[in-house]
Amino acid sequence: MQCIVNRRAQFSASHRYWLPELSEYENNQRFGLCTRSPGHGHNYVLYVAIAGKLDRYGMVMNLSEVKQVIKREITSQLDYSCLNDAWSEFQQTLPTTENIARIIWQKLENHLPLVNIQLFEHPQLWADYQGNGMEAYLTISTHFSAAHRLAHPDLSYDENIEIYGKCARPNGHGHNYHLEVTVKGEVDSRTGMLVDLGALQSVIDEQVVEPFDHTFLNKDIAYFAEIVPTAENIAVRIQDLLRLPIEQLGATLHKIKLIESPNNSCEVYCTPLEATSTASNGVLTTV
């Protein structure tokens, strides 16, 4: 039986974004506050995913051994370090979240049967790396608050109540929506970035958070005048709003995850723009 096991670890470290071949002005334009000397720090949380068949003891690997490998190869070297100086790899490519995840994979791949490295810089930003050259994934987490009513315009009140239950009540109800936007791209061999993080955050804010926050979706967002604003439909709309602006930044929108409540969430896996005529979006809903 094949099984995937995740092992959690953590380390605290500082880093600085600065390229010596650029002027001070150029560095500030590209990296903003992250250029400040001597740097800034994070409490990093690392998840190492390994896969394999279960042995006679019911394990993919002995987790004590996994823990020791991660400590020896990663956390003992990075904890309380300045990442720019900790490993030689960060002399060539800056220690961004996505590049740290990539280098951690390289350090562990000869010791563990890896399937994914996930590294949280903080709870609103993390990267995933799966051993595909310079390709990585970066996720930004944000939120907005909105009200909605689930009622199909072609159905009667009683019919809507039968389908949507309490959610069809005429005055609507609200949620604190939690949104995760995952993009895919190539890590730049010098900056360590797969996308300009500030520009990505601005796109998400401008296209989704500001227009949607503190609205009644059915009444304030024209798209939902005729489209029922279920979590699934909201996620699909967010995908449509973000896909082109993110491609213009040089990355690809990979996934939208919308958490409506602790009990309800939806994931939309996004189709590249050039494939939209032949493929449909994958929507996964968790209840």
Catalytic residue chosen out of the listed positions 260, 266, 267, 270: 260
191 and 277 in a single domain? The answer is yes
Catalytic residue chosen out of the listed positions 167, 178, 232, 247: 167
Determine whether 260 is an active site residue. Answer: yes
Determine whether 111 is an active site residue. Answer: no
178 and 274 in a single domain? The answer is yes
91 and 143 in a single domain? The answer is no
pTM (predicted TM-score): 0.93
138 and 158 in a single domain? The answer is yes
Tell me, what's the pLDDT at 1? 74
279 and 146 in a single domain? The answer is yes
Catalytic residue chosen out of the listed positions 173, 210, 214, 226: 214
Residue finishing a domain among 110, 131, 152: 131
169 and 253 in a single domain? The answer is yes
Residue finishing a domain among 131, 148, 166: 131
144 and 264 in a single domain? The answer is yes
CATH number for the domain harbouring residue 4: 3.30.479.10
Tell me, what's the pLDDT at 192? 98
Tell me, what's the pLDDT at 284? 67
84 and 207 in a single domain? The answer is no
The partner residues of 13 in beta bridges, in order of sequence, read: 42, 81
Q: Which residues of the chain have pLDDT under 50?
A: 275-280
Structure tokens at 284: 């996964």
Domain that holds residue 201: 134-287
Between the two ends of the chain, the Cα-to-Cα distance in Å is: 27
